[in-house]
Structure 1
Amino acid sequence: MKNLLFIFGFLLSCYAPAQEIKWMSMNDALEAQKKEPKKIFMDVYTDWCGPCKLLDKKTFHNKDVVSYVNKNYYAVKFNAEGTEEIKYNDFTYTNPNYNPNRKGRNSQHFFANALKITGYPSMVFFDEKGNLIAPVVGYKTPQQLEIYLKMIHNNDYKKLTSTDAWQKYERSFVSTFEN
C-alpha cells in the first residue's frame, strides 16, 4: 500500500501544472492595492521583442521567481504597444496611434511613454500606493532579477542614495534563487 501511494504521489507531482506568476492588469493591481497594500512588479514587453520572450520563458517560469513575485508583489503584464486603457494618477492612458494592421513594431502606449520606457523588456516597480519606484531595463536571469525583487520589497533601495552604496549592496548580495 505504501508503495502504491508513493507511486501515485510521484506520478501526480510529475503531471502537476507548473507554477506561474499570477499576472493581472495595472488597473486590477491598483484596485487590489486599495484593499491590501503591496508593491507592484510590472513586466513591460512587446510582441516582437526576442529578449522579452526569453525573459518570459526562462526567468518568469523559474520556481523561485514565481514564488517570490506571487508572495510579495502584484504582478502586472503590460504590452507597451498594446491598446489597454490604464487609469493612473487621475489620467487615462491609451495608445491612440495603434495600428492593428501593422506587423512588427507599433506605436508606443502613452503609459509606457509616461514611465520613460526606453527599451524592452523593462521591469517597473511601484510602491504600495502605486507611485513609481524605478524601471529596470533589459533581460535578467532569475539571479540577476532577484537582487531587484528583494531590494525593492525590503525597501533597501531607499538607503541606496549613491553609486557607491549600490555597488557595495550589489557586492554583498547573496543570491538564493536556483537556475
Structure 2
Amino acid sequence: MRILSILVIASLFTRLTLSIQESKELKWYSFSEGLKIAKSENKKVLIDVYTDWCQWCKKMDKEVYSNSTVKNYLASKFILVKLNAESERKHIFEGREYSETELAYIFGVEGFPTTIFIREDMQPITAVPGYFPADVFMKILTFIGDDYYMKMSFDDYLERTGGLPKN
C-alpha cells in the first residue's frame, strides 16, 4: 500500500511539473534589450517581425510560438525579440538610432511575419519570411540553432534529417 501511495504521488508530481513547464510563456524582449542580453549570454537572437494587422503573425503566435516543443527549444537556444515593423519606437543598433520600421527595412523584411536569426556575435544569419506550422518551424530552428547552417545548405539538412514533415 505504501509503494502504491508513493507511485501515485510521484505520478501526480510529474504531471504537475509537466503542466507547469508547458504553461510557461516565452520571454520576449524589445530589440535593444534582446540584443544586449544575447551578447551577455552569448546566445543567438530570433527576431519575430510582425504588424498588428497581420493575421499570419497572429496565427504564428497562437499555433507555433505556443507549441511546447517550439517553446522549449527556443528557450534553450535563443533570446527572443518582437519587432513591430510599423512602430516608430526607437532602438540603438550598430551605434545609431533607428525606429522599428527602419530596422525591419535594414533587415530586408518585405512581408509578415518574417523571422530573423542573428549569431552570437550579432552578425545576421538569415531572414525567413512567412508562416510555418510548428513541425516545419522546428526544422528551421534546429538548422539554425544547432549550427547546421554553417556546414550545409538547408536542402542538404532536410535530406539528412528525413525532409519536411508530411501533413
1:130 match: secondary structure: coil
Map Cα deviations across residues 2-52 of structure 1 (whole Å, 9 max, x no partner): 398579758956974712211111211221133221000111111000000
Task: Write out the 4+ residue segments of structure 1 that deviate beyond 6 Å after TM superposition.
Answer: none
Gaps of 5+ in 2: none
Secondary structure in structure 2 of the residue aligned to 1:70: helix
In structure 1, runs of 5+ residues without a counterpart are: 96-108
Contact 2:143 2:154 in 1 (8 A): no
Instruction: Supply the distance in 2 between the matched residues of 1:65 and 1:14 (Cα, whole angstroms).
Output: 15
Q: Which string of whole-angstrom CA distances, capped at 9 and with x for unpartnered residues, describes residues 56-107 of structure 1?
A: 0000000000000011100111111113212111111116xxxxxxxxxxxx
The total of aligned residue pairs comes to 160
What letter corresponds to residue 70 of structure 1 in structure 2? A
Closer/same/farther in 2, CA of residues 5 and 159 from structure 1, 3 Å limit: closer
Q: 1:151 to 1:7 in 2, by over 3 A?
A: closer
The equivalent of 1:150 in structure 2 is 142
The structure carrying a bigger helix percent of its residues is 2
Q: 1:83 is matched with which residue?
A: 88
Aligned counterpart, 1:121 = 113
Q: 2:158 is matched with which residue?
A: 170
| Cα distance change on mapping 1:34 and 1:14 into 2, 3 Å | closer
Given candidates 72, 78, 82, the residue that maps to 2:77 is: 72
d(CA) in 1 for partners of 2:136, 2:16: 32
Q: TM-score, normalised by structure 1?
A: 0.78
Matched, 1:130 2:122: yes
2:65 corresponds in structure 1 to 60
Q: What is the percentage of aligned positions where both structures have the same residue?
A: 28
| Residues 19 and 61 in structure 1, CA contact (< 8 A), matched pair in contact too | no
Residues 53 and 158 of structure 1, relative CA distance in 2, 3 Å threshold: same
Q: Deviations over 1:144-177 (max 9, x none)?
A: 11122111122211223xxxx43222122258x9
Instruction: Tell me the distance in 2 between the aligned counterparts of 1:15 and 1:23.
Output: 21
Out of 3-12 and 62-71, give the one that drifted further.
Answer: 3-12
Give distance in 2, aligned partners of 1:15 and 1:171. Answer: 34
Aligned CA RMSD, in angstroms, stands at 2.6
Out of 149-158 and 60-69, give the one that drifted further. Answer: 149-158
Query: Using the alignment, how far apart are the partners of 1:7 and 1:156 within structure 2?
Result: 38
Residue number in structure 2 paired with 1:105: none
Alignment partner, residue 106 of structure 1: none
Go from structure 1 to structure 2 and tell me whether the alpha carbon gap of 1:6 and 1:55 turns closer, same or farther (over 3 Å shift): same
